[in-house]
Amino acid sequence: MPVLNEADYLDRAVQTVLAQEVDGPSELVLALGPSTDGTSDLARRLAAGDSRIVLVDNPEADIPKGLNRAIRASRYPTVVRVDAHSELAGGYARAALAVLAGTRAANVGGVMRADGRTPFQRAVAHAYNSPIGLGGAAYHGGAQAGPAESAYLGVMRRTVLDEVGLFDESIRRGEDWELNLRIRRAGYRVWFDPSLAVTYWPRESWLRLAQQFRATGAWRGELVRRYGRRNALRFFAPPVLVVVVALAVVVGLLQVLRVITGPAAVAASVIHLPILAYVVLVVAVAIGRDGGWRDRLWTLAVLPTMHVCWGAGFLAGLFAGASRTVDTSRLGSRNTPLP
């Protein structure tokens, strides 16, 4: 479990891991980044109270580096990746181990069930759980078990990880997708099973959500630079939206300034139709969801934020690379950006 500034979530995340029952010994390895909110002190207190908790330092706060340090410090033949912003359902580990054995897969994962504690966080969770929000990947609500492109978090065979080379430390976001690509290229199976569920708590503020999605989009653009069409088509929808919005703004200004008039202006207005359709779709999703009026209003803001920030980040990563892009949404106000 890589950890950075998770004082509000770490205790519960750790307890849901330690409550898992498996046939044999287990441990929880926490890779501690340079937190500023007391998270590291909390982790040390938790470790002092349970010998199964092992602490390793992750000074760069890079998720792939932290994961690799934790895996190298671990002792057992199965690796269960966990997020400090998540909670494992009861029986998750035992069920995942059974699926791993029954399917002879190298990595298995289940459904990310996003949840929220505030109207904003619930709106983000609703977007995560909707195919409109994140593009309909299996782990965002798939119902059919079977081979998968990637796995959320993942329950993995250590021998396969050692064979393919662990996580690529040059990739700061999307490292799980890239690892699963190498696993599949090596001839192993990645498996999705909807009976496996993990609760995920999204970012708590609009700014942090925008930072997260901008960085995630940039790294997806980088992965497209590296791996081309091995990336699913759904990843290209947000950048297309950004391009269409930009074109619509330019056309609108030209129409207002009467640079283009008459039949040409009418023909150019076609560019506005996809934007209108998108607005109608977002409004329909917001109105059709459960919850109070604040949840619905936040949904109207959250969906475009996710799509536009991700799409803009994607275009930046695609054309300029993402090697220096850092997800700052986990950094506290006293932090300085990481190199």
Dump pLDDT digits (tens) for 58-84: 999 999 999 999 999 999 999 999 999
Distance from C-alpha of 19 to C-alpha of 223, rounded to nearest angstrom: 36
pLDDT tens profile 10-64: 999 999 999 999 999 999 999 999 999 999 999 999 999 999 999 999 999 999 9
Domains of the chain: 2-202 (3.90.550.10), 227-330 (no CATH)
First to last CA, the chain: 22
**What phi, psi does 145 have (nearest 5°)?**
-70, 145
Distance from C-alpha of 25 to C-alpha of 171, rounded to nearest angstrom: 32
pLDDT tens profile 299-314: 999 999 999 999 999 9
**Residue 331 pLDDT more than 80?**
no
- DSSP letters for 282-333: HHHHHHHSSS-HHHHHHHHHHHHHHHHHHHHHHHHHHHH--TT---GGG--T
User: Within 10 A of 85 (CB to CB), how many other CB atoms are there?
Assistant: 18
Confidence of residue 332 (pLDDT cuts 50, 70, 90): low
Mean pLDDT of 282-292: 89
Question: Structure pTM?
Answer: 0.89
**What phi, psi does 93 have (nearest 5°)?**
-65, -45
Distance from C-alpha of 296 to C-alpha of 283, rounded to nearest angstrom: 9
**Which of these, 77, 45, 72, 78, lies nearest to 57 by C-alpha position?**
72
Task: Give the pair of three-digit tokens for residue 102.
Answer: 């029954």
Contact 317, 220 (CB under 8 A): yes
pLDDT of residue 140: 60
Q: How many residues does the chain have?
A: 339
